[in-house]
Structure 1
């Protein structure tokens, strides 16, 4: 338990630091949107590109890892659809609940995996992101627009323009083509990647909205319990079912145990979802994850 806490507490310290800095209005309100854009469009894609460009794509465990990712997400999606039919949720609420259950905080996930499992873990995480990011984005857009319908172009366009997905695809293509990252390119990407995770965690903290944690307590409670407890247990069961190796199992469970992504708030607001509910889910899940992540990982070994 102590090694887990040692690896994870600095990550949550950065999140709390981001929240404190924004409350103190330092370095200014205009800084945080600019920092998020810099990280989202440049620094974080550099991390994913460099990880996938050097990843062992011929690893025989990859098909099982891909099957585990898609099976876990698929079971969660089917469960949401069934509950929506029973409860009669509007698309505005269904979209928020879907993102609360299936989306994940990529910055926190990669920072935790890097702290716990090093470069090998980050490589596996980048491979998983290449599958999970487009899948959960498609599910989220469809959920938020389920009532009014949406064209195939409108559904796929946010996915096709996502810089994280483009970076994953570019890194995989460079890898498969056999191009190296010599001539200092690997060093440049490494410097950009090193800046990504701490800045991302500060931005996660700055995006939290504690004032939104009023009302909706039953909905917040069950969604947080499913995201932070039931989903990682589902990931563990899928990993055991498919007989994944220990490292792949650990990375899969950790991704399924992460709180939802702060960017879910922006997508929810843009597509007319319940943005207040989404903000509350992001805030509460992120705060509770400081307790649930180390406890769950310790229990699952």
Structure 2
């Protein structure tokens, strides 16, 4: 278990380094609001869609495709979304509900979840985790667009506008283009994949620097109770419900552990990028990411320890 703890630290520590780097650069005046706005838009509209495209294209869908596992994960994610939304109606002011819900159900599966699954289960964890992350990204983005469109001031919330937001969302377009390429194993030119990789590798550093540049102690204090509530839902209550459900549905050992790691991952950096893009409370989104990433070091390890103690994994 200590090895898993070390692995969790090694994955989350660089995230905090980049966050504090963004905070420091903003304090030094090396980046400003204009840079953050431009960089966030670049991540949302270009680098992150390319990153998602490459992640799916490079996964072996035919080998690692497990319909039951994927179906359960999508179903559990939808239930988590609805539970978080119901809780937000009681816990949050209306203007913050979309950000709260997104922070509570949208996990950092592509970074934290996948890395931990690979660390624990090697090639099997990498294959299953890659496919799981790729497929559910589509679900994450559709649900996020819906809830943000309803509550964000910069987005129209009628049905046609929501559908239009979904089909024109760059992240969804990236995933939709990647799935047929990966499934039929279409060969793309090596130079194109290498160039796309260079471009995509900017995604996480840029996103985290923008989040760090947005952070302030005053904003963190102002949103701390809502951010903590969303983080606890993301790391404790929803993983508890969904992992128990997975056990009741018959998932065991590696499959159950991988599901837990994905359910219990901290909030994804993409939630900040999307919140900022639609004019929602991006400071709250940043606070949720910071708090959930910090707490995940404790909650993920305690969850794995409990599951091992009762013989589930």
Q: CA deviation at 1:291?
A: 2.6
Q: Deviations over 1:114-169 (max 9, x none)?
A: 752564255224333344323332342254169x9722232133332333322221
Describe the shift of the 1:189–1:113 C-alpha distance in structure 2 as closer, same or farther (beyond 3 A): farther
Q: Aligned partners of 1:52 and 1:187: how far apart in 2?
A: 15
Q: CA deviation at 1:173?
A: 1.4
Q: Aligned partners of 2:114 and 2:69: how far apart in 1?
A: 20
User: Would you say 1:253 and 2:257 are equivalent positions?
Assistant: no
Tell me, what secondary structure is at the counterpart of 1:24? helix
Q: Aligned partners of 2:156 and 2:205: how far apart in 1?
A: 39
Describe the shift of the 1:98–1:280 C-alpha distance in structure 2 as closer, same or farther (beyond 3 A): same
Aligned length: 299
2:74 equivalent among 55, 70, 90: 70
Whether the 8 Å contact between 2:98 and 2:147 is mirrored in structure 1 is yes
Describe the shift of the 1:244–1:127 C-alpha distance in structure 2 as closer, same or farther (beyond 3 A): farther
Whether the 8 Å contact between 2:267 and 2:292 is mirrored in structure 1 is yes
Whether the 8 Å contact between 1:105 and 1:260 is mirrored in structure 2 is yes
Whether the 8 Å contact between 1:61 and 1:244 is mirrored in structure 2 is no
2:103 equivalent among 100, 104, 122: 100
Q: CA deviation at 1:172?
A: 0.9
Whether the 8 Å contact between 1:64 and 1:242 is mirrored in structure 2 is no
Describe the shift of the 1:29–1:297 C-alpha distance in structure 2 as closer, same or farther (beyond 3 A): farther
Whether the 8 Å contact between 2:103 and 2:289 is mirrored in structure 1 is yes
Whether the 8 Å contact between 1:52 and 1:171 is mirrored in structure 2 is yes
Q: Aligned partners of 2:37 and 2:109: how far apart in 1?
A: 17
Give the equivalent residue in structure 2 for 1:11: 11
Q: Aligned partners of 2:12 and 2:66: how far apart in 1?
A: 30
5 Å matches for 1:199-214?
205-214=212-221
Q: Report the TM-score when normalising by structure 2.
A: 0.75
Whether the 8 Å contact between 2:60 and 2:131 is mirrored in structure 1 is no
Tell me, what secondary structure is at the counterpart of 2:61? coil
Q: Which runs of 5+ in 2 are unaligned?
A: 309-313
Calculate the aligned-residue CA RMSD, in Å.
3.7
Q: Deviations over 1:65-89 (max 9, x none)?
A: 232123212322333454456x385
Bigger mean CA deviation after superposition, 255-264 or 109-118: 109-118
Bigger mean CA deviation after superposition, 115-124 or 228-237: 115-124
Describe the shift of the 1:35–1:105 C-alpha distance in structure 2 as closer, same or farther (beyond 3 A): farther
Tell me, what secondary structure is at the counterpart of 2:291? helix
Q: Deviations over 1:170-228 (max 9, x none)?
A: 11111344422354545555555556556655555555444323256554443322211
Give the equivalent residue in structure 2 for 1:173: 180
Whether the 8 Å contact between 1:91 and 1:145 is mirrored in structure 2 is no
Give the equivalent residue in structure 1 for 2:136: 129
Describe the shift of the 1:56–1:241 C-alpha distance in structure 2 as closer, same or farther (beyond 3 A): farther
Q: Aligned partners of 2:268 and 2:234: how far apart in 1?
A: 12
Describe the shift of the 1:43–1:221 C-alpha distance in structure 2 as closer, same or farther (beyond 3 A): closer
Give the equivalent residue in structure 1 for 2:30: 28
Q: Aligned partners of 2:213 and 2:110: how far apart in 1?
A: 13
Q: Deviations over 1:55-107 (max 9, x none)?
A: 4434585321232123212322333454456x385531322321231223356
Give the equivalent residue in structure 1 for 2:236: 229
Describe the shift of the 1:284–1:63 C-alpha distance in structure 2 as closer, same or farther (beyond 3 A): same
User: Which stretches of structure 1, 4 residues or longer, exceed 6 Å deviation after superposition?
Assistant: none
Give the equivalent residue in structure 2 for 1:289: 296
Q: Which runs of 5+ in 1 are unaligned?
A: none
